[in-house]
Amino acid sequence: MKKKKIFIFLPDGIGLRNFAYTKFYNVGLDKGFDIIYWNNTSCDITSLGFQEIKIINAKSHPLTDLYKRAKTQIELNLNIKRANDPTYNGYRFKMNKKGLKNSIKYYLTKSLIFRYNSEKGLEKVRTKIASLERKTKLYHDSLETLKKEKPAFVFSTNQRIMLGVAPILAAQDLGIPTASFIFSWDNIPKASKIMETDYYFVWSQFMKEQLLHYYPYIKEDKVVISGTTQFEPHFDESIFQSREEFFKEHHLDLSKKYICFSGDDITTSPNDPVYLADTAKAIKELNKTGQNLGIIFRRCPVDFSSRFETVLEKYKSIITPINPKWEKIAEKWNTVFPTKEDLELQVNTILHTEFVINLGSSMVFDYVSHNKTCCYINYDVPNSVLPNWNVDKIYKYVHFRSMPNKESVHWINSSDDIHNSIVKILTNDSNKEIESAKEWYKKINQDPPDKASERIWNAIDKITT
């Protein structure tokens, strides 16, 4: 029997972590699929033993970006109107109008928003994007590739990249079924869905309901609840290092217990250096009382700034930075790619730290995968780097409404709370938070979390039968 050829479409490097560095590929092979990565990244994944077809010099239509920007703003406008909820304004990025070129883009986008600011208008914008992308060289190149290779299915590893539209359209125009994976827990409410595929793979029933709510034209039977592969490595003991191995590799003190401070990008948490310093101060005081603690600082993988250097130097006896192993191809955030080594580094960092402190990230789910707890920073600081930024804005984002109750994490409501939270956790007083976080995890991601790859391949098999 001829194997089904499946294209795993990588519109950008985000999908590498979930679909190239996990067990996803091997599960598909074991199920008898012929798997080819349709690769729009600059990464050579043949070194991993994968078959790939490179997409060369991909470009979208010059006008598509204007319609994409307008589409996002119109969707957010409609979300605000439907729910009478201004929270969605927090998902907007300020449009640049400096210089003639940016100024022209700004006013053209504004005019499109004004013209199409309705449900019917939004449908016209989606139609226009498809019409423009069918005129591109990328679309015609994709047609030729697909005609030659004849895959049974095209699975896009995320839903939000403009350069993914033309290849998906080409597949659909040839009658090849397509799907996109909603790659992050916060993506749906923020109007980040750019591709229009035949099927959508989501993390959970909760995410399915979100998708159908925000995009009512999607049919319920076209949404597959699969879970996400991003948490599967936490259950792969073959990549676990011993405490001795990990500590030796990263020059850590075996007599110490370490806490992970996980950084955010500068837009999400501009005051992270202050929070890191506050954490170091708390640990310095605790160590005076007989504790022997340290901090492992894992910065956000796309943050290459020097903003932490002063804090790291001042508290070098307490903080050990272990930088993510991502590859930086160019200056933009979407040209920074994960590596398989970093996936293993993250898992072992979690294994060998007591808990994590951060501002509102999904690391809460990574840590609870190992029955460990998370502290969410929840206080503002004087003289914020961004004057109009505050933590209240972050925790009002729609995805935090999925939290079953406030006890899913330890809340650090002031710098003074850091000391008490650390003591509480180290005295094993976190069972309530861990159990609540597990409930949250099951709501966000289909249980069991280590079977996502199998669920995805089973669904692909069913769709292509």
Positive or negative, the CA dihedral 229, 233, 234, 235 is positive
Q: With a threshold of 0.85, does the pTM exceed it? A: yes
For the chain, the distance separating the N- and C-terminal CA atoms, rounded to the nearest angstrom, is: 13
Q: Are residues 120 and 244 in the same domain?
A: no
Q: How far apart are CA 139 and CA 424, in angstroms?
A: 57
Q: Are residues 324 and 420 in the same domain?
A: yes
| Per-residue pLDDT reduced to its tens digit, 106-155 | 999 999 999 999 999 999 999 999 999 999 999 999 999 999 999 999 99
pLDDT at residue 428, as a whole number: 85
Q: Measured at the alpha carbon of residue 434, what is the angle toward residues 430 and 437, in degrees to the nearest 5?
A: 140
- Residues 349 and 370: beta-carbon distance below 8 Å: no
* Residues facing 181 on adjacent strands: 201
pLDDT at residue 333, as a whole number: 43
Task: Look over the chain and give the mean of its residue pLDDT values, rounded to a whole number.
Answer: 95
Positive or negative, the CA dihedral 433, 438, 444, 450 is positive
Q: Are residues 34 and 157 in the same domain?
A: yes
Last residue of a domain, one of 129, 148, 182: 129
Concatenated DSSP letters of 24-55? HHHHHHHTT-EEEEEE-SS--GGGGT-EEEEP
Q: Which of 17, 450, 462, 460 is nearest to 235 (CA)?
A: 450
| Per-residue pLDDT reduced to its tens digit, 394-406 | 999 999 999 999 9
Phi, psi (degrees; rounded to nearest 5) at 186: -105, 5
DSSP state of 200: E
Q: Measured at the alpha carbon of residue 29, what is the angle toward residues 27 and 31, in degrees to the nearest 5?
A: 70
Residue ranges making up the domain that contains 42:
5-60+136-228+449-463
Q: Is the pLDDT of residue 328 over 90?
A: no
The CATH number linked to 420 is 3.40.50.2000
Q: Are residues 350 and 262 in the same domain?
A: yes
pLDDT at residue 96, as a whole number: 86
- Residues 209 and 424: beta-carbon distance below 8 Å: no
Q: How far apart are CA 60 and CA 167, in angstroms?
A: 11
Residue type, 446: Q
Residue type, 153: F
Residue type, 103: S
330: confidence class by pLDDT, cuts 50, 70, 90: low
Percent of the chain with pLDDT over 90: 89
Which contiguous run of DSSP H or E holds residue 85?
A: none
Q: Which of 6, 39, 29 is nearest to 337 (CA)?
A: 39
Last residue of a domain, one of 87, 114, 129: 129
Residue type, 297: F
pLDDT at residue 329, as a whole number: 64
Q: Are residues 11 and 72 in the same domain?
A: no
Q: Are residues 54 and 123 in the same domain?
A: no
Strands 374-377 and 410-412: parallel
* Residues facing 374 on adjacent strands: 356
Q: Which of 279, 438, 416, 289 is nearest to 364 (CA)?
A: 438
Q: Are residues 373 and 354 in the same domain?
A: yes
pLDDT at residue 453, as a whole number: 98
| Per-residue pLDDT reduced to its tens digit, 197-229 | 999 999 999 999 999 999 999 999 999 999 999
Last residue of a domain, one of 85, 105, 129: 129
DSSP state of 21: S
Strands 327-328 and 336-337: antiparallel
386: confidence class by pLDDT, cuts 50, 70, 90: confident
Residues 6+ apart with CB under 8 A from 92: 73, 76
Q: Are residues 123 and 144 in the same domain?
A: no
Which contiguous run of DSSP H or E holds residue 300?
A: none
Q: Are residues 356 and 273 in the same domain?
A: yes
Number of domains in the chain: 3
Q: How far apart are CA 389 and CA 84, in angstroms?
A: 23
Q: Are residues 304 and 318 in the same domain?
A: yes
Q: How far apart are CA 370 and CA 393, in angstroms?
A: 29
Give 78-84's long-range contacts (Cβ < 8 A, gap of 24+). Answer: 78/118, 78/119, 78/122, 79/189, 79/191, 79/214
Q: What is the SS3 string spanning 236-271? A: CHHHCCCHHHHHHHCCCCCCCEEEEEECCCCCCCCC
Residues 6+ apart with CB under 8 A from 115: 121
14: confidence class by pLDDT, cuts 50, 70, 90: confident
Q: Are residues 373 and 397 in the same domain?
A: yes
Q: Is 53 exposed, middle or buried (0-12, 13-18, 19+ CB in 10 A)?
A: middle
Tokens 């930088």 -> residue: 323
Tokens standing for residue 274: 């202050």
Q: Are residues 281 and 391 in the same domain?
A: yes
Mean pLDDT (whole number) for 273-289: 98
pLDDT at residue 304, as a whole number: 87
Residues 6+ apart with CB under 8 A from 7: 36, 37, 38, 53, 149, 151, 153, 154, 155, 171
Q: Is the pLDDT of residue 332 over 80?
A: no
